[in-house]
Amino acid sequence: MPKDLINFLRARLEEDERLAHLATPGPWAVDGGTVYAGHLVNEIVDYSESADHIARQDPDRILGEVDAKHRLLTMYEEAGRTRFQPPTAERWMAAGVERAVLEDIFRAFAAVYANHPDYCEEWRP
């Protein structure tokens, strides 16, 4: 897996995390077509589906998602090292399978950011 893809994902996650920290703290909720986060965040007149979507993007949920993805990236980087000591043929094979599965997952994660100027088409799943 290209190290560039891992770096790209880490950079996007850091951006998501930074923006979530800048957002109005949650929990966010919807009442009718209005989104609240302790106070009025945004009034959406006839688009309750949009209000539900906006409320679902609660910064706390985004931060949890970012944390989970960071943990997967760390698992990938550690596979075949400290988690599989002492090294045996079976453990190295398991690490290879684990890394291959995670590579497919990361390609799917990166595709979410396909419109970013640093995204490489070769990463597309």
- Identity of the amino acid at 64: G
Dihedral sign computed on CA atoms, order 82, 84, 111, 64? negative
Instruction: Report the share of the chain in percent with pLDDT over 90.
Output: 34
Quick one: pLDDT at residue 69? Answer: 93
- H or E element, residue 73: helix 59-78
Residue 42 pLDDT more than 90? Answer: no
Kindly report the length of the chain.
125
Q: Which residue has the higher pLDDT, 40 or 101?
A: 101
- Render pLDDT for 84-98 as a digit per residue (tens, 0 to 9): 566 667 766 676 777
Share of residues in the chain with pLDDT > 70 (%): 74
Average pLDDT over residues 110-124: 94
**Tokens linked to 122:** 């070769």
Q: What is the mean pLDDT of residues 67-92?
A: 74
Peptide bond connecting 27 to the previous residue in cis, omega within 30 degrees of 0: yes
Instruction: Indicate if the pLDDT at residue 105 is higher than 70.
Output: yes
**What pLDDT, on a 0 to 100 scale, did the predictor assign at position 78?**
76
Question: pLDDT grade, residue 38 (50/70/90)?
Answer: low
> Side chain identity at 13, as an amino acid letter?
L
Whole-prediction pTM value?
A: 0.72
> Residue 46: its pLDDT value, please?
45
